[in-house]
Structure 1
Amino acid sequence: MYKLCFFVPEADLEIVKQALFDLGVGRIGDYGSCCWQTLGTGQFRPLSGSNPHIGQQDELEKVAEWKVEMVCDDQLIGQAVATLKQAHPYEEVAYDVWRLEDL
């Protein structure tokens, strides 16, 4: 089992979550579409050569983003990351993948 964590702007939150839920990510036993999400502020500066979805090159940008965490079965994690990158609006998606232990 893995935990997938990513950051997404508010306007795209439900679209990205639903793409992952449709794949089967976020299932815990007999419950589906499970996740934890918190609102925060993301910060980045698009560098030369970037094609930013939000902001402009060489200007610091601060944007309301949701941090979303959901569990993912072992056999889905590669497909989950690919789906996240496909559904997410950012050119470079900020995400973490953690392997979980069953204790």
Structure 2
Amino acid sequence: MNAPYVYTPVERTSRRLGLFLLVLLGLSLTMVLFFVKTRAQDARADVARIEAQIKMHEAAITVLVAERAVLANSDRIRPLSEERLGLQPITVAETSTLAAVEVQP
């Protein structure tokens, strides 16, 4: 029978150092993975918050477009312009051609 191998003090120290470095590497990788996971969760939360803000702003834009359509309606503007500004629709007699307009230097 063969006798069991006996490690020398240098071999024993190098094995312990190797084991220590592997454990240290494992802990380091675990910490890095934890921080990356946390950052990813924060990024997802930020994306969800920004998407909610986008939906809220899109709804506000829809309301503003509808309000602009109501306010820009010519049936609403014509009576206001006649009543408050004294404006009347332009007639054909009041128009002229570009050739009739003299250019001033």
User: TM-score per shorter chain, which class?
Assistant: under 0.3
Bigger relative contact order, structure 1 or 2 (CA pairs below 8 A, ≥6 apart): 1
TM-score of the two chains, using structure 2 as the length reference:
0.15
Higher alpha-carbon Rg: 2
Higher share in strand: 1
Please state which structure has a larger fraction of its residues in helix: 2
Normalising by structure 1, report the TM-score: 0.16
